[in-house]
Chain A
């Protein structure tokens, strides 16, 4: 089974900050990685798929990069609506999510 590990678990940041979240896979997943945003009490929302492809309607301040086993999600300038929990998900072999990164207000 492929394990996904995100870091950090919690991130404190201010509006306007550049934020980076890392996701590591236990084995190579090529570029079969997606990122989701989840707010309390709500369903997850797809942000990025295939490592760096932006889902329709998602602001361009979100970007993704990486390949193999190491991936990053970057928010170029954090906005008030971005405070949420973010999950990575691999879909190379079955489907596995990372444990989540909570982005909170500093």
Chain B
């Protein structure tokens, strides 16, 4: 069974750092397109970052230079290192598995999300 389990969220002060983890089971992270999508309280979905199976990474302008996506193939886990956090980064962060059919990607498997709250 395919499963994505996020962890690492919490309450952090502005300017602080946090690392989110997404442990995958039932498939191999390195062979898939893996992404982070966030949702601020009461708001819509916002794409954050993606890690292509081939190794390329992309970021939304709102997090570029502050967030870093990575993966540990031995642990079959995706990460999101978040630095210089701001109040506007407060959100539920979802890990999602992407599928490329002609173009990358639609997101067809999602974790349950982990909550990040940036506040003093």
Which residues of chain A have a CB within 8 Å of any CB of chain B? 1, 30, 32, 34, 36, 38, 43-46, 49-50, 53, 55, 87, 89, 91-92, 94-100
Contact = CB atoms under 8 A, between A and B. Distances in A.
B27 interface: no
Contact of A91 (B37, B46, B105, B113): B105
Given A95-B50, A99-B44, A43 B112 contact: yes
B44 to A, nearest CB: 5
B38 to A, nearest CB: 11
Given A87-B44, A94-B58, A97-B44, A43 B94 contact: yes
A2 B111 CA distance: 26
Given A91-B103, A91-B104, A92-B103, A100 B110 contact: no
Given A32-B102, A46-B106, A49-B106, A95 B113 contact: no
B52 interface: no
Task: Classify chain B's interface size.
Answer: 20 to 34
A91 B108 CA distance: 13
B85 to A, nearest CB: 22
Contacts of B46: 97
Contacts of A38: 45
A96 B103 contact: no
B47 A97 contact: yes
Contacts of B58: 94
Contacts of A53: 101
A106 to B, nearest CB: 22
A32 B104 CA distance: 9
Contacts of B61: 1
A72 B46 CA distance: 21
Nearest to A1: B61
